[in-house]
Amino acid sequence: MSTSFNTVKKGYDPKEVQEYIQLLEKELATYKDKEEFISRALVEAQVSAKNVVEQAKDQAIQIEEDAKHKLEHIKEKIEKSKEKIYQFEEEYANFTKRFEASFNENELNKLLTSLDSIYTSLEVSQSGNEEPNEDVIDSAV
């Protein structure tokens, strides 16, 4: 920025004017440096803010995904527990049916054995024309 002044009588001293202009140029350069510094700082702040927002969004997405995975895992555990409960109930029902059938079969076998004893006792007594032995009948029952 070079400027020249006309020299006139009783005018300004060109050397002083030139020194003043140089001083103004230095101040202007200082202000331009400050402006660039502020502009860079502003851009960096904007980039930093954008990064913070992006990181927050990423973290929110990650937290949501983790929560969904945990929820799925819990649902799977619940389903497995339900299946085990249903299986247990079915096994229990089958066991009780087998127990009841076994119990009834044992009782039936005892009754059949008792009836066989009574029948045998009756056959023996009729073949000998004796009265049936009441002790045998009572012990069979």
- 6 in any annotated domain: no
Instruction: Give residues with Cβ within 8 angstroms of 86, minimum separation 6.
Output: none
**Counted domains in the chain:** 1
- 2 in any annotated domain: no
* 118 close to 135: Cβ distance less than 8 angstroms: no
- 35 in any annotated domain: yes
pLDDT given for residue 1 in this prediction: 61
Q: Domain range holding 106?
A: 14-140
Tens digits of pLDDT across the chain (141 residues): 666 666 666 788 888 889 999 999 999 999 999 999 999 999 999 999 999 999 999 999 999 999 999 999 999 999 999 999 999 999 999 988 887 777 777 787 888 888 888 888 787 777 766 555 566 556 555
- 3 in any annotated domain: no
Tokens of 129: 């024309």
- 34 in any annotated domain: yes
* 85 close to 111: Cβ distance less than 8 angstroms: no
Pseudo-torsion of CA 97, 102, 105, 109, nearest 10°? -170
Pseudo-torsion of CA 101, 102, 104, 105, nearest 10°? 110
- 63 in any annotated domain: yes
- 32 in any annotated domain: yes
